[in-house]
Amino acid sequence: MPRERKSEQRKLYDLTQEWGAGIPPWPYFPDPVVSSFHRFPRDTLHSMKVDTAMHVGTHVDAPLHFNPEGLDSSEIPLDVLFGDGIVVDLRGEVSDFDIITPAMVEKKSEVREGDILILNTGWHKYHWMAEKKNEEKYFVRHPAPHVEFAKWAIKKKLRWLGADSPALDHPLNTAIRKMRPDAVKSFEEKFGKSIEALLPMDQFLQVHIMTAKHNMPLVENIAGDIDKVTGKRMKFGAFPWRFIRGEASICRVIAFEGF
């Protein structure tokens, strides 16, 4: 009986974004192509083919993405992909274009050395299958960490860092900066400073670059049941393909309660 009661307290939560035909890619990546080569009317079975970048939907950025000597998707140890951690609630704390700092996180939750850390910014409510879907807001205006945060995450020796947004670098610290001068103007008007003052070009994409140098995976586009586990300490896992020389991989992210 005691064992049965313990089992009843265990629960799995899926923190993965839905994936399928029509899912929008990162703005300067090609659209995924999903097609069928067997169909029930002709073949009495259904088989599909997918042509996609790996940075679409919920995915792991392997260190190889920005570090030529970094781990690929197949090499990330299981005890890095799975472990104790917490989803920190930044909903209401951040809005369009905000830069996430360690102080924002530490104000909300204790983050321990070796944790898995997931940031719930509330941005998952804008992804392609969400009720408030807004592709422009989701990709171009999301809040994100910057260099100070990357240094802090490395010092904490996080297993991996994740977020419910499409990138763990600020959108205007990616190529979107050149593509969307109107977004740069909105950013500068919001903060009353030049973009160079807050996001200097010599720190371009540095969250990805710095964490990759320390073989820390990043997990982006987290969604699903994230709100149900926010603020709770439990075990988390991100499970990419065992992809040789994979610089990233579509993955499933699970929260394990009571394990």
Query: Mind giving me the DSSP string for 104-155?
Result: HHHHH----TT-EEEEE-SGGGGSTTSTT--HHHHHHS--EE-HHHHHHHHH
Q: For residues 103, 70, 246 and 248, what is the CA-based torsion angle, rounded to 10 degrees?
A: 10
Burial label, 174 (beta-carbon count in 10 A; 0-12, 13-18, 19+): buried
pLDDT score, position 2: 46
Q: How far apart are alpha carbons 30 and 25 in whole angstroms?
A: 7
pLDDT tens digits, 61-109:
999 999 999 999 999 999 999 999 999 999 999 999 999 999 999 999 9
Q: pLDDT confidence of 8, banded at 50, 70, 90?
A: low
pTM exceeding 0.75? yes
pLDDT score, position 91: 97
pLDDT tens digits, 25-63:
999 999 999 999 999 999 999 999 999 999 999 999 999
pLDDT score, position 9: 87
Supply φ then ψ for residue 140, to 5 degrees.
Answer: -95, -25
Task: Identify whether the C-beta of residue 88 lies closer than 8 Å to the C-beta of residue 133.
Answer: no
Fold for the domain defined by 2-17+54-257: Glucose Oxidase; domain 1 (3.50.30)
Q: pLDDT confidence of 6, banded at 50, 70, 90?
A: low
192 has pLDDT over 60: yes
Burial label, 69 (beta-carbon count in 10 A; 0-12, 13-18, 19+): exposed
Q: Average pLDDT of the chain?
A: 96
162 has pLDDT over 70: yes
127 has pLDDT over 60: yes
Mean pLDDT of 245-259: 98
Q: How far apart are alpha carbons 158 and 113 in whole angstroms?
A: 6
Could you give the C-alpha distances from 137 to 26, 141, 180, 187, 193, in angstroms and in order? 12, 5, 12, 13, 21
